[in-house]
Structure 1
Amino acid sequence: MSRGAAPSRRTAILSLLLLGGATLAAAVPTWLSTTGATALDPEVEVAVAGTSAAPGVSAAALVLVAAALALGLVGRVGRWVVLAVAAVSGVVATVSALGVALDPEPSARSAVADATGVTELTAPVELTAAPWLAAALGVLTVLVAVWVAVGSRSWAEASTRHERAPGPTSGGSSTRPVPAPEPSGGAAPGAATPGTDRADPAGGTSPDEISDHDAWDALSRGEDPTDR
């Protein structure tokens, strides 16, 4: 299927919910009717609902509703599990409904035995359209589950595309270099401060590093202080 036909998560949930509700509604009414006889009443009318004739249909419908609700809560792996459960519930509903639609007499005899105490049928079994409707809804459930499974691949892509970028380091603050303090007195960067020792490139002492006392002593001896 194309990406444009892919269902959203909301559409998938609503579709499965509607199918579950419709399947359960199809199991409630009368599926078949017949008559039996007792010693006191020669004709006892018996009507059998789908919930009695095919309990698997109503059970599958309830499972489908639960799967639809779970589809909005699970992640990627859970989504596949939920859709597999939905598909299986559709298969169970179809098989159970077709079992009654193709051979309704066993269910009718069981219902007559409960009503009269004997399994003898005094009239043919009349079948309604409800079993066929339930079987069709089961097939549709399987198709919808496959459709959602194929289209749900875009759900993960959409969530990945909108993930937040990694934040700063722990504590919410980023590490920044702290500038070195400037020398006091407005001195230019790299200028020597008084009292510090700095080696002269020629191996001597810089003139800035000669104290006044040493300079005076050198001058007293007739020496040039800068030659030291």
Structure 2
Amino acid sequence: MSSETAAARWRRKSTVVLVTVLLAAAAFGTTTRTWLDVVLPQAAVETPNIAVAGSEAATAVTAFAVVAVAAALAASIAGKIARWVISGVLVVAGFGVAYASAAVIQDPQQGAAGAVGKAVGVSGAAGADVTLTVMPYLAVAAGGLIVLAGIWLAIASRSWAASRKYAAQPATGAASKGESTQPPIDEIDSWDRLTKGEDPTNYR
């Protein structure tokens, strides 16, 4: 495989869109898993162990991931200018995913505060033992890759052909040669001309 062929494949619309959708879906997928394992004081509640999903620990990650999925899908049908806008949206969404995930890593107690509040009836996670899982780190990585995907889209889409769905169709036949055309005559007119010894295909 030549280097030119490999480069062309990495610029393909289907490849760029598919990879970007998968990255955004991966970021969203992490939010459905456990981000924080919380152990509450035994005297606080009957069930001291709480598993906090990413959608609860960092709700912004879910929102940014959904935006990224929608933007990636829209890129497949967008025009040239719209693709630049979508690239910017993907970069912002990727930063949002990474930043919100990193915030949970920096302060897991704050990320668990909502879940702990529901369990014990008071806000905050004071006195709770909060342990991070690998999911927030994977979300940070996915966010960074979404940023790169947005940049990739901006670069690769410059070589994408414009959509021909709504493009004007070129003239064909006589019209393309500048010749005048007339609407075809019906069967009765053709028969009348034929009986008169005239050529029914001659419109002049």
Distance 2:125 2:23 in 1: 37
Which of 92, 102, 109 is matched with 1:105 structurally? Answer: 109
Match of residue 63, structure 1, among 39, 46, 67: 67
TM-score normalised over the length of structure 2: 0.73
Distance 1:57 1:30 in 2: 14
Structure 1 residue 79 corresponds to structure 2 residue 78: no
> What are the superposed Cα offsets for residues 77-102 of structure 1, whole Å, 9 maximum, x if unpaired?
11111111111111110000000011
Residue of structure 1 in register with 2:53 after alignment: 49
Are residues 66 and 175 of structure 1, via their aligned partners in 2, closer, same or farther at CA, if it must alter by over 3 Å? same
- CA offset at residue 167 of structure 1? 3.1
Aligned to 1:124: 129
Say if 2:110 and 2:125, in contact at 8 Å, map to a contact too. no
What CA RMSD, in Å, does the superposition of the two structures yield over aligned residues? 3.0
Aligned residue runs from structure 1 range 1-228, under 5 A? 5=7, 6-37=10-41, 41=45, 44-118=48-122, 119=124, 121-156=126-161, 167=171, 174-175=178-179
8 Å contact kept, 1:35–1:121: no
Evaluate the alpha carbon distance shift between residue 79 and residue 40 of structure 1 in structure 2; reply closer, same or farther with a 3 A threshold. Answer: closer
The 8 Å contact of residues 28 and 61 in structure 2, kept in 1 or not, is answered as yes
How many residue pairs align between the two structures? 172
Q: Which residue of 1 aligns with 2:198?
A: none
C-alpha contact 1:37 1:116 (8 A) present in aligned 2: no
Gaps of at least 5 residues in structure 2 are 181-204
Measured in 1, the distance between the counterparts of 2:25 and 2:114 equals: 27
Q: Percent identity?
A: 38
Whether the aligned pair in 2 keeps the contact of 1:93 and 1:138 (CA below 8 Å) is: yes
**C-alpha separation between the residues in 2 aligned to 1:59 and 1:83?**
17
Compare CA radii of gyration and give the structure with the larger one: 1
Gaps of 5+ in 1: 177-228
In structure 1, give the amino acid aligned to 2:140.
Answer: A
